[in-house]
Amino acid sequence: MLVQMSSMRDAYAQALLDLGSKDFRIVVLGADTSVSIKTSLFADRYPDRFFNVGIAEANMIGIAAGLALAGKIPFVSTYSAFVPGKCLDQIRNAIAYPNLDVKIVSSHGGLTVGPDGASHQTVEDVAAMRAIPRMHVVVPADANSTIALISHSLMLSGPFYFRLSRANVTEIYTPTDEIRVGTANILKEGSDVTIIATGVMVNEALEAGRLLSREGVSAEIIDSHTLKPLDSETILKSARKTGAIVTAEEQTIIGGLGSAVSETVCESYPVPVSKVGIRDTFGESGEHKELLVKYGLTPQEIVKASKKLVGSR
């Protein structure tokens, strides 16, 4: 089988070039990380529509707000440790409160910066962004879905937080798959347990599904790339079918995907929800793969959680 590995940053840069060639309202802002995040490709092609503000994330968000108020569509990008990390207030008061069309696309989310260590890893960014009213929160799983979701966001108004990964990922989707903000994608149907994952954990969930089927457990696998607004319809439908949910995310389980799913099922159709994610701790230096194992973000952990739920019935 041909496994295609791809880079979300490259996909993002490609999306910007494509979209930017058609919509001249698109402008891109960077904060001294644009070579690393590849927005420098947009800067090379459209120097007039690219603004490098230096290492000044809060200023970048404020400038993006002004550009949006004057009719532009700003894409704002740096490492997720610093946007949102450095500028929660500017995101809240300058972008979300006035409901501006600003797309924040941050890369190097989760533990993917590996050896850089905890200061540059993010466990809390998604939870923080989810808690801000009006903010859309999207965590794509591969390159094709990054392109599709960013393109679709242009048709929707309001603020967006996209969290991309630095790690190269195995492609899940093809360029023609329908992937839309707000609609979860069912990647595999199943009847015993529902596994809902986001970002780099979608591949791990698919692997868990394969391991489980060898043991006679039929898992339904859902890519919930959009954490907000959550696709509660798809999730509730699956909950009714399987009666048990495991969530998998590369971030703190406090306020992330597992929380969002729990909030939904608790109110409408309570089923047990088991969360695979980071347990209220900072990361540390190490290779990304090593960290995923150390912090329990593996197919094996998803399998363990699934079997526990299925077995306890």
Partner 1 sequence: MEQEQIPTGMLLQKAVKIRTDILEMVAEAKSGHPGGSLSAVEILVSLFFYKMRHDPKLPDWPDRDRFVLSKGHAAPVLFATLAESGYFPVSELKTLRKLNSRLQGHPDFRVPGVEFPGGSLGIGLSAAIGMALAAKLDKNDYRVYALLGDGEMDEGETWEAAMAASKFKLDNLTAIVDRNGIQQDGLTEQIMPIEPLGYKWKAFNWHVLEVDGFDLRQVIEALEKAENMRNRPTVIIAHTVKGKGVSFMEWDPAYHGKAPDKDTVRKLVEHMRLE
Ligand X SMILES: Cc1ncc(C[n+]2csc(CCOP(=O)(O)OP(=O)(O)O)c2C)c(N)n1
**Dihedrals phi, psi of 63, to nearest 5 degrees:** -65, -40
Residue 250: active-site member: no
Q: Please choose which of ligand X, partner 1, none residue 284 contacts, taking the beta carbon within 5 to 8 angstroms, the exact cut-off set by kind.
A: partner 1
CA distances from 83 to 56, 61, 88, 107, 245 (A): 10, 9, 8, 9, 31
Q: Which of 125, 169, 155, 121 is nearest to 9 (CA)?
A: 169
Binding residue for ligand X, selected from 17, 25, 32, 254, defined by CB under 6 A: 32
Among 35, 55, 69, 266, indicate the residue that binds ligand X (CB under 6 A).
55
The nearer residue to partner 1, 120 or 163, going by C-beta atoms, is 120
CB of 292 to partner 1, least distance (A): 11
Residue among 14, 33, 106, 198 that touches partner 1 (CB under 8 A) = 33
Classify each residue of 203-215 as buried b or exposed e, where b means 16 or more C-beta atoms within 10 Å of its C-beta: bbbbbbbebbeee
Which C-beta is closer to partner 1: that of 234 or that of 285? 285
Nearer of residues 241 and 294 to partner 1, judged by Cβ: 294
Q: Is 45 or 180 the residue whose CB approaches partner 1 more closely?
A: 45
Partner touching 56 among ligand X, partner 1, none, CB below 5 to 8 Å by kind: partner 1
For ligand X, the nearest residue by Cβ is 32
Between residues 122 and 194, which has the closer beta carbon with respect to partner 1?
A: 122
Structure token pair of residue 300: 């094996």
| Residues between 74 and 93 that touch ligand X (CB under 6 A) | 82, 86
Among 5, 21, 24, 35, binds partner 1 (CB under 8 A): 35
Which does residue 266 touch among ligand X, partner 1, none (CB within 5 to 8 A, set by kind)? none
User: Which of 34, 144 has the CB closer to partner 1?
Assistant: 34
Size of the site for ligand X (CB under 6 A): 5
Please tell me whether residue 34 binds ligand X under the rule CB under 6 A: no
Does 33 interact with ligand X (rule: CB under 6 A)?
Answer: yes
Q: Give the separation between CA 132 and CA 134, rounded to whole angstroms.
A: 6
**Of 6, 52, 213, 234, which one interacts with partner 1 (CB under 8 A)?**
52
The answer to the question of residue 88 lying near partner 1 (CB under 8 A) is: no
What does the binding site for ligand X look like in residue numbers (CB under 6 A)? 32-33, 55, 82, 86
What does the binding site for partner 1 look like in residue numbers (CB under 8 A)? 30, 32-36, 40, 52-56, 58-59, 81-82, 85-86, 113, 115-120, 284-287, 290-291, 294
Query: Active-site residue numbers?
Result: 57
